[in-house]
Structure formats: structure tokens, C-alpha cells
Amino acid sequence: LEVLAKLSPDLTIGLRTYTEPFAKKIEETGAFLAFDLITLNDSVSAVERATRALGADSQGAAMNQAFLDELEATGKRAPGKVSAVFLWHWGNAPYAYYSNHLTTQVMERLGATNVQGEPPKGMESADSSVITMETLLRLNPDVIISFKGDAGPFTKHPAWNRLKAVQSGRAWR
């Protein structure tokens, strides 16, 4: 915050998850926009609002349209019909993202079925939850995409090497 105050920016743009505790202090340095980038719609909206704030409305609309057009074209070329999971791991357990998350929405537009599915009733705002290795093995997705928070020991779990995605070289970290 000290560096931000020294820089005195005209506009600060941040992710609400990370900036929320400091929002009032950030606003003291100048205009401030914070976005939730949970869904694809959130992302499109954030680009629109940020470019509007920068006086570049048409560029934002063009960027969004180009991205959505490319996503649609890529989706038509994608083989589809694969099951997938997007994991985030921290410590001893992986977390699997629900279908309401930006990355899983993109995966689904590319023809992948998210094995984690939708959040349970009453947890609609949750983006992910812990998934046990046993559950992951039972779901056994064709593709695993993993965002690594830390190395974590779960890839040393005996079930990891039994996963179809790991055996076929389609597990990426």
C-alpha cells in the first residue's frame, strides 16, 4: 500500500478476492475498480468496465468479441467428449473447481465435461471444494489440469498413478 500511495496512480484495478481487505486504503490513492473473476460473464464484464474506465470502450468490446469468437471457433475444432477436472492444490488435498468457475466454463465450451459438476445446493457461490483421491479415482477423468499452489504430497498418493489422465500423459501441472 505504501508503494501504491507513492505511485499515485490515476486508476488501480484489482481482484476483489485479494483487494477487499484493503479497498478503503486503495481508494485513498485514486480511482479503484475491483472485480470478481469467477465466471466467464464476470470476465467479460470486467473487461467492459475496465476499458470504459480507461476511455477505451470500443477496444474492450472488440477484445471480448475476439475472445468469444476464438473460443467458439476452438470449441468447434476441439475433439470434445472428454471428461476433465480443474484442480488447485494446496497442502495435502486437491480442490476441484465446480462448473460455475471461469476455467471450467471455458473447458466446457471446448467440449469437456467437468467431473466436479455444479456446486451443491446451498453452496452456489463456492468455486471449488476438496476432492479426495478416492473420489478423483472413482471419477477418473480423461484430462486433469492442475494449478499448483504448492508441490503438495497428493501426487505421491498411490491413486494418482492409477488415474487415466496420468497414465495417458494428459495430466498437466
DSSP for 30-48, written as a single string: SEEEEE--SSHHHHHHHHH
Cα 173 from Cα 166, distance rounded (Å): 11
d(CA 38, CA 64): 16
Residues in the chain: 173
Q: What is the pLDDT of residue 72?
A: 97
pLDDT (0 to 100) of residue 89: 82
Q: What is the pTM of this model?
A: 0.82
Which residues does 133 contact at the CB level (< 8 Å), separation at least 6? 94, 154, 157, 159, 160
pLDDT tens-digit profile, the chain (173 residues)? 888 888 889 999 999 988 999 999 999 888 999 998 889 999 999 999 999 999 999 999 999 999 999 999 999 999 989 999 999 987 778 899 999 999 999 999 999 999 999 999 999 888 999 999 999 999 999 999 988 766 567 778 888 899 999 999 998 87
Query: From CA 71, how far away is CA 140, in angstroms rounded?
Result: 26
pLDDT of residue 156: 80
For residues 35 and 13, is the Cβ–Cβ distance under 8 A? Answer: yes
List Cα–Cα distances, 49 to 44, 61, 66, 80, 130, in angstroms. Answer: 9, 10, 17, 33, 33
Nearest to 17 by CA among 94, 88, 121: 88
Q: Hey, what domains does the chain have and what are their CATH numbers?
A: 2-76 (no CATH), 82-172 (3.40.50.1980)
Give the pLDDT of residue 154.
Answer: 75
What is the model's pLDDT at position 109? Answer: 96
